[in-house]
Amino acid sequence: MTEAVHYIIGASGQLGTELALSLQMRGERVVLSDVRRPEHADLQVLPFEMLDVRDRQALDVALEKAGATKVYLLAAALSARGEGDPEWAWDLNMRGLLNVLEHAAASEVVDQIFWPSSIAVFGPETPAVAPQKGERKPTTVYGISKNAGEQWCAWYRAHRGVDVRSVRFPGLIGHRSVPGGGTTDYAVDIFIEANATGAYTCFLSEHQRLPMLYMDDAVDSIHELMAAPAADLTVETSYNIHGMDFTPGELAQAIAERVEGFTIVYKPDFREAIAASWPDALADADARKDWGWAPKVGMDELVKIMLEAKKMALSET
Ligand code: SER
């Protein structure tokens, strides 16, 4: 068997940075690509190339040159930014995915793809605890693209033999990279501000509950799902996974218990309606059964870790 070459598209983003660090720690061969250079100091030693995933020819050349066997497509326009530029968001999210799936279908070298879906595939009619199977009626550009992407992945799996694996991520919270353009970003911003100024102005309302996941658990879910025997995977689309759920008010309370004098004010903007359209939590029994999904970090532990991580990147991406 040839040695795996992990190729990350969108490696300079919030999740890409963390996945790259994790693969690097594991001693894996990894190649990074993005439309901007990675910021994290530890990633400067890894091979990197500028790549716009919408450019099919450039993508083919890059993946072939690298000898990529496992491709992680993490470049995407998220929910809040997508609403401001629907055509750009649809084009990036869909063209990028189709390019990668087409490449994989034709390639004898690429053997696996990872592509993240999202809680955004659900809509206002979804029950508070989103079931694995059931109707999905997303109301954001991002959610529409993820929903269509899930079906494209299922199609390429069924008709072109592409081994593409996927989970529906909730909001991801970590301290080695910053998010950009999402609705769940408040749950990272709040820690940066708690550490820097002791005060935060929240763009969601106090009681807006959302599902969330600590970054290390998110990265582990990728490794675990990619390592699972294909025969064990029974979900045709993307797996629901759940870590924890809380409201901005509950998170602020937990921070205030550790940061003396911490204050929060609520100034909900257009992102409130996006958050309101998403479920509170995800039913993840299938992921637990099929590939052993079991998150390790709950809310108390998360708050502790995030407040201790003083070196959190402060730049907006
Ligand atoms: N974190 C994403 C967003 O807020 C949801 O998948 O857009």
- Name 304's Cβ contacts closer than 8 Å, sequence gap at least 6: 258
Phi, psi of 73 (to 5 degrees): -95, 95
What are the tens digits of pLDDT across the range 140-189?
A: 999 999 999 999 999 999 999 999 999 999 999 999 999 999 999 999 99
Task: With a cut of 80, say whether residue 311 has pLDDT above it.
Answer: no
How does the average pLDDT of the chain come out, rounded?
96
Domain boundaries defined on the chain: 5-171+213-240, 175-211+244-280+293-315
Residue 263 tokens, joined:
């204050």
What are the tens digits of pLDDT across the range 19-60?
A: 999 999 999 999 999 999 999 999 999 999 999 999 999 999
Specify the ligand 1 atom closest to the Cα of 116. 6
First to last CA, the chain: 38
CATH of domain 175-211+244-280+293-315: 3.90.25.10
Which residue numbers are catalytic? Answer: 142
Residue ID of nearest Cα to ligand 1 atom 3 = 182
Specify the residue for token string 């708050």.
303
CATH superfamily of 5-171+213-240: NAD(P)-binding Rossmann-like Domain (3.40.50.720)
Ligand 1 centre distance from Cα of residue 118 (Å): 7
Per-residue confidence (pLDDT) for residue 6, from 0 to 100:
98
Pocket of ligand 1 (CB under 6 A): 78-79, 118-120, 142, 169, 171, 182-184
Specify the ligand 1 atom closest to the Cα of 79. 7
Residue ID of nearest Cα to ligand 1 atom 2 = 182
CA within 13 Å, CB half, 106: 10
Provide the greatest CA pair distance for the chain.
58
Per-residue confidence (pLDDT) for residue 134, from 0 to 100:
86
